[in-house]
Structure 1
């Protein structure tokens, strides 16, 4: 029973870690396919495409499974989605800055820089979601 109570108590964090892990996996796979493995495009464009696909996935999973947000009107859904993308754009800027330093300036291994970058961004995104985006539902739990 202790384990079940812990899971219930920390369900939001567990579900966010699972959602964030899958979001990170999408981000890393797309980035590495486009930049590291195939050298199809530069790391900035690869980062943007990976970000866009992973943020769409993250919005759906965060809305439905992590923060259990069920907006009643289309206006509220658009407001919530707008807020979600606004905060994710801020984390994208963090993403670009970390990659610029790690890959562009220090010339470190792109995969490892991107992995470390994703850990930082996932933590920031959780805080943004909990505090600013899904606050009304998440504060009731």
Structure 2
């Protein structure tokens, strides 16, 4: 009985659950790339953040298309349309990401975590960005009504 309820809930919220799983994975890709660049290179915080963001967006498009929103179309025109919308939406949230980190740092969220300067601000910005990305992907990019 309980297992049936759990299964029903998992099926009902599959998309959100998958988005959260891959959203966390995308965020981890972003954080790992950012941390590696901050720890191992002379690249500054803003450039490290931009490179981490771009890497995460590529990962996110692939996982969102295949596993979250299960977009079945491989028609070149349809894929191109998705990619343009996806990157457009991510550029919008990328502005939040790239601008939000130094803004939070500037207003005093300067705490380090795991020995990485500004990482607490990075986490806060990431939470906001994950929520915005789901909304944009659901409504504008992988909207099944458009297909």
- How far did residue 107 of structure 1 move? 5.9
Which residue pairs with 1:48 in the alignment?
A: 50
Which residue pairs with 2:141 in the alignment?
A: 133
- How far did residue 38 of structure 1 move? 3.0
TM-score by length of 2: 0.88
For the residue of structure 2 that corresponds to 1:70, the secondary structure is coil
- Aligned-partner Cα distance in 2 for 1:59–1:50: 14
Q: CA RMSD in A?
A: 1.8
The reply to whether residue 124 of structure 1 matches residue 119 of structure 2 is no
Evaluate the alpha carbon distance shift between residue 6 and residue 39 of structure 1 in structure 2; reply closer, same or farther with a 3 A threshold: same
Which residue pairs with 1:31 in the alignment?
A: 34
- Aligned-partner Cα distance in 2 for 1:75–1:103: 41
Query: After superposition, where does 1:1-141 map in structure 2 within 5 Å?
Result: 1-35=4-38, 37-38=39-40, 40-106=42-108, 108-109=110-111, 110-136=118-144
Residue 34 of structure 2 contacts residue 49 of structure 2 at CA under 8 Å; is this kept in 1? Answer: yes
- The structure that has the greater radius of gyration is 2
Deviation beyond 4 Å, 4+ runs, structure 1:
none
Higher RCO (Cα < 8 Å, 6 or more apart): 1
- How far did residue 104 of structure 1 move? 3.9
Aligned length: 138
TM-score by length of 1: 0.91
